[in-house]
Amino acid sequence: MTATDATNSEKEAREATVERDDVVLEVNDLSVTFQSDDGPLRAVREVSYVLRAGEALGIVGESGSGKSVTSMAIMGLLPRNARVSGSARVLGQEVVGLTDAQISKVRGERIAMIFQDPLTSLNPVYTVGYQISEAVLAHRNVSKAKAMDRALELLELVGIPHPEQRLKQYPHELSGGMRQRVVIAIAMANDPDVIIADEPTTALDVTVQAQVLEALNAARRETGAALVLITHDLGVVAGNVDRVAVMYGGRIVESGPVEEVFYRPRMPYALGLLGSLPRLDADRRERLTPITGTPPSLNAMPPGCSFAPRCPMARARCREEEPLLLALDERGDRVWADVGDAGAHSAACHFSAELGESTPADLFRAGAAAGTGTESAAEPGSAGGESPDSPGEDASGAGSGTGGGGEPILTVTDLVKDFPIRSKGLLRRKIGEVQAVSGISLELREKETLALVGESGCGKSTTARLLLQLIRRTSGEVHYRGQPLHALTPRQMRPLRRDLQIVFQDPFASLDPRMTVADIIAEPLRIHREGNGKSRRRVGELLELVGLNPEHGSRYPHEFSGGQRQRIGVARALALNPRVLVLDEPVSALDVSIQAGVINLLEDLQEELGLSYLFVSHDLSVVRHIADRVAVMYLGRIVETGTTEQLFGAPAHPYTQALISAIPLPDPVKERTRERIIVTGDVPSPANPPSGCRFRTRCPKFANDLSAQEQARCVEEPPELEERGAGHRDACHYSEVVELI
Residue 634 above 90 pLDDT?
yes
In order of 243, 563, 595, the CA distances from 260 in angstroms are 9, 30, 25
Contact between residue 571 and residue 545 where contact means Cβ atoms under 8 Å apart: yes
How would residue 342 be classed by pLDDT, with cut points 50, 70 and 90? low
**pLDDT at 498 > cutoff 60:** yes
- Whether pLDDT at 302 is above 50: yes
Please say if the pLDDT value at position 393 is more than 60: no
- Its pTM stands at 0.84
pLDDT of residue 285: 73
Degrees to nearest 5, angle at CA 640 with 634 and 643: 135
Instruction: Name the pLDDT band for 685 (thresholds 50, 70, 90).
Output: confident
Assess whether pLDDT exceeds 60 at residue 576. yes
Instruction: Return the minimum-mean-pLDDT range out of 185-194, 441-450, 584-593.
Output: 584-593
Three-class secondary structure assignment of 651-679: CCCHHHHHHHHHCCCCCHHHHHHCCCCCC
The CA radius of gyration of the chain, in Å to the nearest whole number, is 27
Q: Give the single-character DSSP code of 397.
A: S
The mean pLDDT value of the chain amounts to: 86
Residue type, 381: G
Q: DSSP secondary-structure letter at 435? A: E
Q: What is the pLDDT of residue 336?
A: 59
| Whether pLDDT at 9 is above 70 | no
Beta bridge partners of 413: 477
pLDDT above 80 for 153: yes
Query: Is 600 exposed, middle or buried (CB count within 10 Å of its CB: 0-12, 13-18, 19+)?
Result: buried
Q: pLDDT for 67-99, tens place per residue? A: 999 999 999 999 988 999 999 999 999 999 999
pLDDT at 387: 40
Least confident of 9-23, 126-140, 602-616, 705-719: 9-23
In tens, the pLDDT along 505-539 reads 877 788 999 999 999 999 999 888 876 667 888 99
Whole-number percent of the chain with pLDDT over 70: 89
- Helices (runs of H) and strands (runs of E) counted in the chain: 27, 25
CB 505 within 8 A of CB 588: yes
Q: What share of the chain is helix, strand, coil (3-state, %, to 5)?
A: 35, 20, 45
Distance, CA of 367 to CA of 361 (rounded, Å): 9
Q: Torsion over CA of 280, 460, 584 and 475, rounded to 10 degrees?
A: -150
- Classify strands 729-730 and 722-723 as parallel, antiparallel or unpaired: antiparallel
SS3 529: coil
Residue 280: what pLDDT?
85
- Predicted confidence band of residue 660 (pLDDT cuts 50, 70, 90): very high
- Integer Cα distance of 92 and 193 in angstroms: 12
Cα–Cα distance for residue pair 203/397, rounded to 1 Å: 32
The CA-atom distances, in angstroms, between 170 and each of 75, 166, 226 are 27, 8, 30
Share of the chain above pLDDT 90, in %: 56
Give the pLDDT score at 396: 34
Q: Indicate if the pLDDT at residue 627 is higher than 90.
A: yes
Lowest mean pLDDT among 42-46, 230-234, 247-251: 230-234
| Dihedral class, residue 198 (left if φ above 0, else alpha if ψ from -120 to 50, else beta) | beta
**pLDDT band with cut points at 50, 70 and 90 for residue 375:** very low
Dihedral pair phi/psi, residue 691, rounded to 5°? -70, 165
Grade residue 57 by pLDDT with cuts at 50, 70 and 90.
very high
Residue 721 pLDDT level (bands cut at 50, 70, 90): very high
Determine the pLDDT at residue 35: 87
Distance CA 337, CA 329 (A): 10
What's the whole-number mean pLDDT along residues 586-603? 85
Maximal CA-CA distance, the chain: 81
DSSP states of 193-236: SEEEEESTTTT--HHHHHHHHHHHHHHHHHH--EEEEE-S-HHH
Residue 379, pLDDT score: 39
Q: What is the mean pLDDT of residues 249-262?
A: 94
Question: Residue 104: CB partners within 8 Å, gap ≥ 6?
Answer: none
Would you say 94 and 87 are in contact if contact means Cβ atoms under 8 Å apart? yes
| Position 597 pLDDT exceeds 90 | no
How far, in Å, CA of 504 to CA of 514, rounded? 19
Task: Give residue 682's pLDDT.
Answer: 78
Q: How far apart are CA 543 and CA 507, in angstroms?
A: 15
Give the pLDDT confidence score for residue 686 in this predicted structure.
86
Do 596 and 629 form a contact (C-beta atoms < 8 A)? no
| pLDDT tens-digit readout, 119-145 | 888 999 999 999 999 999 999 999 999
In this model, does residue 725 exceed pLDDT 90? no
- What per-residue confidence (pLDDT) applies to 184? 93
Q: Per mean pLDDT, which range of 277-281, 494-498, 529-533, 734-738 is the poorest?
A: 529-533
Give the start-end residues of each E strand in 277-364: 326-328, 334-335, 346-347
Higher pLDDT, 592 or 383: 592
Judged on CB neighbours under 10 Å (0-12, 13-18, 19+), 1 is: exposed
